[in-house]
Amino acid sequence: MTARSPARVYRGTPRNLAFLARRLRAGELVAVPTETVYGLAANALDARACAKIFRAKGRPANDPLIVHIHALAQLGTLAEFGDAARRLAGKFWPGPLTLVLPKKSIVPAIVTAGLPSVAVRMPRHPLMRRLLRLCGRPLAAPSANPFGYVSPTTTEHVRAGLGKKIRFILEGGPTDIGLESTIVDVRDPRRPRLLRPGAITRAQIEAVLGQKLHSAPARAAARAPLPAPGLLARHYSPRTPLVLHKKLSPALAAKGNAAEAWLFFAQPPGPASRNIFWLDARGDARRAAHRLFGLLRTLDGRGFRKIHAELAPGHGLAEAINDRLRRAAGQGHA
């Protein structure tokens, strides 16, 4: 359903937060800030409200939603969890970690793509946490953008993508991390799986669990239900074709087609050019992750025929950056 007027942006005042909490309890959608990306929130226990998320985003029903909570006590009402989940939550919540667990019947099937599991996280963004407390409900919230496009990290991104389909946006400033949460499947604590890398790295999770993480399984069918969001081969994609390189050559970029953009991980040597860009001048992974989606959106709006992008070197957060780049280019594991 198309909103009658463009979305309005609300500052995070006590009055506005109370108003938006009422709107959520009434079954409406609110775009919300988190430390990862902006989300499109609805009451996670209201199937009709969650259906509005899928319509507004054009999201397929086989892609589940992440449920956001503000206190660990809420987790037991939504899911079954044991020692492994308790240790991870104790270490990383509130924060950018999502846990996939066996769900309880209170969670509507539309939230979980009909699967008997649910993805849950406790965000750390202060405004999102206040809104969750005021709302008194867990909130389902995928990224607040048209399905498959680059995730939003500012309210301007949200308005550009969904401004005519939703009514309410909570202003929380640019997101801190800029990449979606790490997702770990702990339904079988003997075989935990990293479904989506993020700011909380594989090594950090393995250190808490005391065991190695297995990788996400390949998906058998294009329309099969997914255990968690962010697992499609093509996702987070600009409209401009994206070509990945293990390492970009500054000389090749300088001689390349001026109608094509060249995105380096760190600032390359040589003179400046209108079609040469970089994620961080010094190649810092956290700053690079923070800038990735915003820069992809910028390049997508510049009229380039193609974007050449360099993969991040190393491990840790580089795994998450490269996961998003590969999916943006349609090369993700699926």
Q: Give the orientation angle of helix 202-209 with respect to helix 83-92, to 10 degrees.
A: 130
pLDDT score of 2 more than 80: no
- Predicted confidence at residue 219, as pLDDT, reads 54
- Predicted confidence at residue 129, as pLDDT, reads 98
What confidence tens digit (pLDDT) does each residue in 115-145 have?
A: 999 999 999 999 999 999 999 999 999 999 9
pTM, to two decimals: 0.94
Distance CA 291, CA 46 (A): 34
Residue type, 187: R
Phi, psi torsion values for 38, nearest 5 degrees:
-75, 140
Bond from prior residue into 6 cis (ω within 30 degrees of 0): no
- Predicted confidence at residue 179, as pLDDT, reads 97
pLDDT score of 332 more than 70: no
Quick one: tokens of 110? 């539309």
CATH numbers and ranges of domains, the chain: 8-215 (3.90.870.10), 242-328 (no CATH)
What confidence tens digit (pLDDT) does each residue in 223-279 have?
A: 678 888 888 888 889 999 999 999 999 988 888 888 999 999 999 998 778 999 999
Q: Residues 163, 6: contact at Cβ < 8 Å?
A: yes
pLDDT score of 36 more than 60: yes
Question: What's the CA angle centered on 200, arms 210 and 192, to 5 degrees?
Answer: 40
